[in-house]
Structure 1
Amino acid sequence: MSSGSISKAARRLGLTQPAVSSAIANLESDMGFMLFKRNHYGTEMTIEAKTFSEGVERALKALSNLEELAENLKNGRVGKLQIGCMPGLATLAPRIVAGFMRNNPDVKLSLQTFPSRKVEEWVAGGHFDLGIVEKPQAKNELEIFPYSFRMFCALPPGSPLADKKEITIEDLEGRPIITLGDAHQSTMQLRSLAYKHNCSLNVVAETQLFPSAMALVNEGVGYALIDPVTAMEYGKRNDNTVVLRPFTPQVEFEVAIILPKFHLVSRLCHQFQTALKEEFDQMATSFSTERFER
């Protein structure tokens, strides 16, 4: 059909003309109708052959699409991801996700924000493909990839500590402090430091999220240890008056990328995990030297 004659088709295929004629005859026998008729001008396609050729074109195009789909699946460039993220990184995750989707436009994605324990449960149960949580204890149901970020001390407006390059646990003794509750990792580390250095903590407010703690500091309620992601995002606000300084001894904000151990993980999920790891590695390097000077 595309060559215009049996002899030209034979040359394109590297076959003899009788071999092509035999192939056509066999196909006509299988189909039950003629595909080509000879006339004074050469070989002419029948009406049935023209209709059938349209179906062949669609089938070849579909096959080509399947090959492309298989290639994209192999390289993790297509499919759907279900991701669960802890509230503390809910401002960062959309930026990472958006960058991944720009590089992989055929990806469909669901990003849900839940407390870390809920995300852990849903990843373990296969309801989420991947989770971003506060670092959990070792669990048989999860593959855990931990990361640590140094926390900063947020100083309220007009604080007499603003001239210091670093804030120590002794500097906070007797000053109003905002924490994330007794069970939070940052609060436990802070209390452990206070006990070790024989300092008392004057906790005047508790909240569940770092952005809330940052807002309270901004309102002059007290001091707080803040994770670097919140510090970076809150620092972009026009109404921000908080001063941030490195805190010593170092207190770390520990997070983890988690995958299910007993459920199949797609190539796409592994591809996203790689992109997420690169972002976290870059952040860890950046935050380790960032001073958030004002």
Structure 2
Amino acid sequence: MHLSLRQLSTFREVMRSGSISQAARSVGRTQPAVSTMVRTLEDQLGFALFLRSHGKLTPTPEAQFFLEECEDILGRVERTERTMERISSLQSGKLKIACHPAASSVFLPRLLTGFLKNRGDLDVSLMMRSSGVIEDLIASQQYDLGFAETPQPRTSIRQTDYDLECVCILPKDDPLSRADVVTPNDLDGRPMAVLFDEHGTAVQTEAAFRAARCHFNKRLELRTFLPGMQFVAAGLCVMVCDMITAYSHLTQTPENERLSIRRFGPKISNSVSILTPGYATQSMVAQAFIAELQVVVENMQAEISDTLK
């Protein structure tokens, strides 16, 4: 027995309307075509669905039972169609994102706020993890995408890399806020906030001071640069920090309270990457979010460049 959805929906319309002619109008077919479909359905089922007398149809008890089954099947199909429509329009689905600490407090939540607007049935998991952990989560396909410091290439991960320039953060009334470029000579001996010794920005910054024969005064060692903003604002230190933290500060702080952001030379790089599983197909919602993330990263670079002019 091979019943089609068209047969089931046509039978349902006949039962609802009580008339072959009315059902034909509802499903957009001719009356003979509907009559033939009902008879074919009865032949396939092996029992009568209607008693026919003087041009009238009277449903049999078996027809009432079969209607319940049809309603159940067609209801599930219609719900599935609606769900698929919402998925295709990015209104529904699931998205799992792993994000490194620098972008987890402001940068990605700000992007997600706009992305989730008018997408009430879209479920998102946003987890902060270290970059090394994110790499493994993406390689093992546990998350749809990761935003982390750039790892070494591997076949189990697709990555889009961005070489982001670190910037110097100073109190807003610091004399160096008028400089085009702040150098180790300008910061010789000044208290600084830096990340832990193994981090690439800390290694590069200390190397720049050492090459310039300047005193690198590491007063505060941090896990992330975000709390350093408060220390700089209080006049306790200055810091050379990643672009994402600096951009987050710009986007959430009133203009009259913003710290001074200047270019640091020599250039200190902090490369970040959008990571996706190498052996998995991206969902449409993941593709859409990645496209927006790429735009936001590029816009951030442009805005920071304008700030440094």
Fold match (TM-score > 0.5): yes
- Which residue, out of 127, 147, 150, partners 1:132? 147
Q: Which amino acid aligns with 1:272?
A: F
- Which residue, out of 85, 92, 109, partners 1:94? 109
Partner residue in 2 for 1:67 = 81
**How far apart are residue 133 of structure 1 and its match?**
0.6
**Is the alpha carbon distance of 1:243 and 1:259 closer, same or farther for their aligned partners in structure 2, counting shifts above 3 Å?**
same
**Is the alpha carbon distance of 1:206 and 1:7 closer, same or farther for their aligned partners in structure 2, counting shifts above 3 Å?**
closer
**Is the alpha carbon distance of 1:28 and 1:140 closer, same or farther for their aligned partners in structure 2, counting shifts above 3 Å?**
closer
Partner residue in 1 for 2:226 = 211
Task: Indicate yes or no: 2:160 matched with 1:120.
Answer: no
Partner residue in 2 for 1:161 = 176
Contact preservation (8 Å) 2:48, 2:60: yes
Gap regions ≥5 residues in structure 1: none
Alpha-carbon distance in 1 for matches of 2:95, 2:59: 49
Alpha-carbon distance in 2 for matches of 1:8, 1:124: 58
Partner residue in 1 for 2:123 = 108
Alpha-carbon distance in 1 for matches of 2:46, 2:110: 59
**How far apart are residue 83 of structure 1 and its match?**
1.3
The one-character-per-residue Cα deviations of 1:112-137 (angstroms, maximum 9, x if unpaired) are: 11111111122112222211111222
**How far apart are residue 256 of structure 1 and its match?**
0.8
- What is the root-mean-square deviation of aligned Cα atoms in Å? 3.2
Alpha-carbon distance in 1 for matches of 2:97, 2:89: 19
Q: Which amino acid aligns with 1:84?
A: A
Task: Indicate yes or no: 2:284 matched with 1:274.
Answer: no
Contact preservation (8 Å) 2:261, 2:307: no
Alpha-carbon distance in 2 for matches of 1:148, 1:157: 26
- Which residue, out of 36, 43, 47, partners 2:50? 36
TM-score by length of 1: 0.82
Partner residue in 2 for 1:231 = 246
- Which residue, out of 258, 261, 266, partners 2:278? 261
Alpha-carbon distance in 2 for matches of 1:208, 1:242: 20
Q: Which moved more, 1:234-243 or 1:92-101?
A: 234-243
**Is the alpha carbon distance of 1:111 and 1:213 closer, same or farther for their aligned partners in structure 2, counting shifts above 3 Å?**
same
Alpha-carbon distance in 1 for matches of 2:133, 2:113: 24
Q: Which moved more, 1:20-29 or 1:80-89?
A: 20-29
Q: Which moved more, 1:183-192 or 1:118-127?
A: 183-192
Q: Which amino acid aligns with 1:53?
A: L
More helix by share: 2
**How far apart are residue 273 of structure 1 and its match?**
1.8
Contact preservation (8 Å) 1:76, 1:269: no
Indicate the SS of the match to 1:132. Answer: strand
